[in-house]
Structure 1
Amino acid sequence: MTGHIEPMVGRYVHVDIAGTTHRIYFEEAGSGIPLVCLHTAGSDGRQWRHLLADEAFAKAFRIIAFDLPWHGKSNPPADWDGTEYQLTTARYTETIRAFCAALDLDRPVVMGCSIGGRIVLNLAIDHAAEFRALIGLEAADFQAPWYDTSWLNRPDIHGGEVCAALVSGLVAPQSPAETRMETLWAYKQGGPGVFKGDLYFYRVDGDLRGRTKAIDTSACPLYLLTGEYDFSCSPEDTLRTAAGIPGAAVVVMEKLGHFPMSENPDQFRRYIAPVLDAIKQQKTI
């Protein structure tokens, strides 16, 4: 064969969530320490393809990215009757834990971005012993909504285009045009109401103010990295959150916005490489 074949392999796993079987799509590459990657609201696991294809990281980590139900190649459950989709803290947490259990992962590292970064904080609060380390990208205990979600699921508006338009300003100006457009394309393909449903968790149900003080970073290291151009979860939001968590490592990433792993993967690599090395070596940065 003469074509370039990327190393990740995609499969489905059947996962029991709240008594209902879900067929969840995931891609993985590499071997070693399990590293589970959580995509942003309204998108899917394609955001992590550059990390999955990184041969150096794959030598020490089994990198796994899955699509939440309703996202990407993970359909809604078979018994879904069309009821409006809304992501809650409890549901999101249970989904991650059930997925890790279904793959029999031994104390995985979990790295999430945006809503994935927020839920990482909840994992640190309630389930730290289950994880080797937690990485929150564009993560904070709360951000005041700057958007009107009623625009995200209306019959007179193309949902995918308005979702992509909403987040387009969150990409740093230095991000290459190719990866910028790839990041936005996933939003244009999202299912009806899915982005809006994810933002229910982000703006209503997932307020962690007052709870993050319970995080014990000696039990599970916590890394928080936020792009300097992110105005949804601003560096100030992340720094404020980290200030209330003794031992949390915090970095503001230059020339990056809200989607670091997909909008500018080379720049993101400069920041995530030391974190993954620290986890591999079981040291702090």
Structure 2
Amino acid sequence: MTAKIEPIVGRYVTFDIAGTAHRVYFEEAGSGIPLVCLHTAGADGRQYRHILCDESITSRYRVLAFDLPWHGKSYPPVGWQDAPYQLTTQRYLETILAFCDALELERPALMGCSIGGRIVLELANRHADRFRALIGVEAADFQEPWYDTAWLHRGDVHGGEVCAALVSGLIAPQAPAEHRHETLWQYMQGGPGVFKGDLHFYRVDADLRGTLHGIDTATCPLYLLTGEYDFSCTPEDTLRTADAIPGARVTIMRELGHFPMSEHPRQFRSYLMPVLDEIEQQ
């Protein structure tokens, strides 16, 4: 068997969020236009490993995927044990912008999935001038909760297994078994209460209905890509959201669910590449 070394490089960067230092892990590969990638709730940047290893992307884009604080290889800040983790809209925005500033990224493109897709809409609404283009994957202004967060942080159940079980139905049936189980393994490794804390943002603190009419897609193009099998952020949710944003580009992706970049990377690639081609030509 021939050894294979992937081109991904992992590093840590320390920067302030709300006045507190955070040590954040990120992976990158490639050169060219910066493309910042935001993972889903309760997971980490490993979801983007297939994009980081795709030479047809990294030959044109500097792909960067960071783990939110409390996630993956990123540590919580000092004193984390004194209060439960809870992600808010403001903290999420500050984290993304601080990461871009720390790496001196000038008007990067940015792609986020699920909670990352929801915050893409806020970035388009509040900070469009900071980005070359925004890609919301499984993104909508609001979704009706279909889950009970009480099960996500309990002493009598295995939190990681419960998290993976909760999201398992969101993966399209066409996803290759290898990638399906890899996606679920990432959820099994989340820290205690982290998935629940992320869903505070998704359920409580980020209802964007009626607030997005001011988005200017001429300043920053907005692409919305949603899988046809996603029942958390349904195609109807995304289409409804796009109706309120003149110029938003919507694609409903066949044979994909809520985690397209990790559950079926080859199928997702067929939808992502035309978007990246457009962004490169702008």
TM-score past 0.5 threshold: yes
**Whole-angstrom distance in 1 between the partners of 2:59 and 2:177:** 30
Question: In the alignment, residue 276 of structure 2 is paired with which amino acid?
Answer: L
Match in the other structure for 1:261: 261
Question: In the alignment, residue 231 of structure 1 is paired with which amino acid?
Answer: F
**Whole-angstrom distance in 2 between the partners of 1:255 and 1:81:** 41
**Whole-angstrom distance in 2 between the partners of 1:25 and 1:42:** 15
Any unmatched runs of 5+ in structure 1? Answer: none
**Whole-angstrom distance in 2 between the partners of 1:208 and 1:68:** 22
Correspondence 1:32 to 2:29: no
**How many angstroms does 1:78 deviate by?**
1.8
Compute the RMSD of aligned alpha carbons.
0.9
Name the SS of the counterpart of 1:212 in structure 2: coil
Name the SS of the counterpart of 2:246 in structure 1: coil
**Whole-angstrom distance in 2 between the partners of 1:111 and 1:234:** 18
User: Structure 1 length normalisation: TM-score?
Assistant: 0.98
Question: In the alignment, residue 119 of structure 2 is paired with which amino acid?
Answer: I
**Whole-angstrom distance in 2 between the partners of 1:225 and 1:173:** 18
Q: How does 1:1-285 map to 2 (within 5 A)?
A: 2-282=2-282
Deviations along 1:138-176, whole A, 9 cap, x unmatched? 000000100010010010010000000000000000000
Any unmatched runs of 5+ in structure 2? Answer: none
**Whole-angstrom distance in 1 between the partners of 2:165 and 2:29:** 32
Name the SS of the counterpart of 1:105 in structure 2: coil
**How many angstroms does 1:2 deviate by?**
4.6
Question: In the alignment, residue 243 of structure 1 is paired with which amino acid?
Answer: D
> Which contiguous aligned blocks of 4+ residues in structure 1 show a shift greater than 2 angstroms?
none
Question: In the alignment, residue 80 of structure 1 is paired with which amino acid?
Answer: W
Instruction: Determine what percentage of the aligned residue pairs are the same residue.
Output: 74
User: Structure 2 length normalisation: TM-score?
Assistant: 0.99
**How many angstroms does 1:86 deviate by?**
0.5
Deviations along 1:7-59, whole A, 9 cap, x unmatched? 01000001111111100000000000000000000000000000000001001
**How many angstroms does 1:258 deviate by?**
0.1
**Whole-angstrom distance in 2 between the partners of 1:177 and 1:263:** 9
